[in-house]
Structure formats: C-alpha cells, structure tokens
Amino acid sequence: MVSTPASSIYKLSVADLTEMGVDVLDDGPLSPSPRGLIERHTAIPPPVPKLAPQTPVLPTPVTSPMFERGLADRTAWENWLLKLDGDKRAGAEYWASQRSILHPGAWIGTAAFVAGCNQAKPRLAPCDILRKSEPDYKLGWNSFPENPSFFVQVASRQVYSDAETVRQSVGLFGTVQIVPVVVSGVQWYRVDIGPFASEDEATGIRARVTQLYDDAFITTR
C-alpha cells in the first residue's frame, strides 16, 4: 500500500473474493463487484409498456319519476296514433294541435274525423293537466324524438329463456333485441325487431312476422 501507486490500487469486494475462492466469513450483505456495477449502469432498461387510453365514463343522466312519466305518456300517445289511419288519425292529430289554443277550432269533417277528435280528447286531457302543472312532466313529454325509430314488437315473455326462443325464431327478419321492462312491478322481456327508419318499412316486416306471431305490432322510441 505504501509503494503501490494509487492508480493501481483496487478494493476487492466480498463478491470478488468469493470469485477468487477465498473463504469469506462476513455475514453482512455482499458488495457489488466493479463488473457488476458496470453491468448495472450500462444495462438497457426494459421498455415501459404503453397503457391504452382510458375511455371516459360519461355520467348517467338523472331523470325524475315525473320526467319518466311524461316520456312514457308521450310514447303511449304516439304508439296509439300509429294504430290509426285515414280521417280518424287526421282527427286525432287535429285535436292534438288545437287543444292548447284558447278557442280551439270546430270538429268539422267526416264521421271518422270527428271520432278521432272525440277519442283523442280524453286521452290527452290528463296529460295536459300535468304538462301545465309539472315542469319535469312537460320536459319528459317534449323529450320524445321528433323522428322516432320504428320497431316491430313481436312478443313479451316473463321468462328470459322463452324470450330468447322467440328472438331466435324471428332472427331472419332483421336485428332482434330483447328489452327488459317492468310493468306494474312485474318483470317482462320484450322481443323487438328494428329499428326501422320509416313506418312503412316496419309495416312490411310486421306483415311477415304475424304469420308466426299474430299479435305483433309497431311501436316507436
């Protein structure tokens, strides 16, 4: 140590001594060898995996029971209109356009036209009361899409496996979906075909479906 130049002095670690066959009695942690230090600092770090961008979770819109009731009543009204045709439908739509006017027009037309007005009035009367007194109900009523999609409701079943059987039997007619709904506290599974862009298109499919399910009808949402 006295005669050896400083540049030629090396400190042997426990790992170096072990490699040379020297018995080491020190129970402490092994110091890394110079070779190990070099390898440690020159090693290429493993690639950092790229994380897939997370899809943002949009908040679920919160609606009140009165909003849902308004939307449900409006949907029921539109579905009822779909079952009418000719002058009777024209009469129902006429009353719907006149009912909020202070002095609505007279019901002048064919017997079917007048019948449409007469049937529409009691249907809309309770809805109009809620539209004027409940803001959320009015909002739900007005949220019905102006250009609704048309569906053919094939059947409703209380057991999901029964609904699945119906779905498979009409799979050739288009896109079929099972929609769970609760009616008067009872769980039902509705089988719908659609959506269709027009009522005429849905009517054509319904004509074919009724050969298997004669109570199929057209609905919107």
Residue 130 is assigned to a structural domain of this protein: yes
Which of 65, 219, 72 has its CA nearest to residue 143? 72
Among 74, 107, 142, residue at a domain's last position: 142
Same domain, yes or no, for 132 and 164? no
Our count of domains for the chain comes to 2
Which of 135, 100, 148 has its CA nearest to residue 121? 100
Chain mean position to CA 139: 21
Q: Which domain holds residue 166?
A: 150-220
pLDDT single digits (tens) 58-93: 454 557 889 989 988 988 898 888 888 788 888 898
Largest CA distance in the chain: 128
**pLDDT less than 70: residues of the chain:** 1-4, 6-10, 12, 17, 22, 24-62
Predicted pLDDT of residue 29: 54
Residue 18, sorted as left (phi over 0), alpha (psi -120 to 50) or beta, turns out to be alpha
pLDDT single digits (tens) 125-140: 999 999 999 999 999 8
